[in-house]
A and B are shown apart, each in its own frame.
Chain A
Amino acid sequence: MNTTASGFSTGSTIERPRPPDPQSGPPHRSVAAIVASLHGRAGKTLLARILADYFILSGRRPALFDTDAAERMLHAAFPDDAIVVDLTEVRDQMILFDTLVARSAASRVVDVSHHAARRFFKVMQESRFAAEARARQVEPVIFHIVDRNADSYEAARLLRERFEDCALVLVENAFLGKVKDRTRRSPGFQAFEDHELRMTLPCLDPEVLDIVEDMHLSLSDLMREPLSRGAGGGPLSFDERADLRGWLGGIFRDIHRVTRAVETRALSLAPAGP
Chain B
Amino acid sequence: MKPVVLMVGADKGGVGKTTVTRTVLDYLAAKNALVRAFDAEHPRGTLQRFHPDITEVVDITTAADQMKMIDTLATSEIKVSVIDIRAGLLDETLKTLTEVGFFDLVDAGEFNFGLMHVVGSSVASLDEIAEVLPYVKGKHYFIVKNFINDTSFFEWNPTIYRNYFRGTADAVEVTIPKLNEMAYEQVELSGVPFSDFVANRQSNGQQVNNSLVLRGYVRTWLRQISDEYDRVGLLDRLYDRTAAAA
Contacts and interface: CB of A to CB of B under 8 A. Distances in A.
Contacts of A128: 216, 219
Contacts of B216: 97, 123, 126-129
A1 interface: no
Contacts of B182: 90-91, 94
Contacts of A132: 212
A135 to B, nearest CB: 11
A97 B213 CA distance: 7
Counting from the closest, the 8 A-B pairs by CB-CB distance are A127-B216, A126-B216, A94-B213, A93-B213, A126-B220, A127-B212, A97-B213, A90-B182
B187 interface: no
Interface of B: 180, 182-183, 211-217, 219-220
Interface string A83-126: 00000001101100110010000000000000000000001001
Given A126-B219, A126-B220, A90 B213 contact: yes
Interface size, A (range): 10 to 19
Interface string A49-70: 0000000000000000000000
Contact of A98 (B211, B217, B219): B211
A98 B212 contact: yes
A101 B212 contact: yes
Among A91, A93, A97, A129, the most chain B Cβ lie within 10 Å of the Cβ of A93
B224 to A, nearest CB: 11
Interface string A171-183: 0000000000000
Given A126-B217, A126-B219, A126-B220, A97 B180 contact: no
A127 B215 CA distance: 7
Contacts of A94: 182, 211-214
A253 B183 CA distance: 42
15 contacts: A90-B180, A90-B182, A90-B183, A90-B214, A90-B217, A91-B182, A94-B211, A98-B213, A101-B212, A123-B213, A126-B217, A127-B212, A127-B215, A129-B216, A132-B212
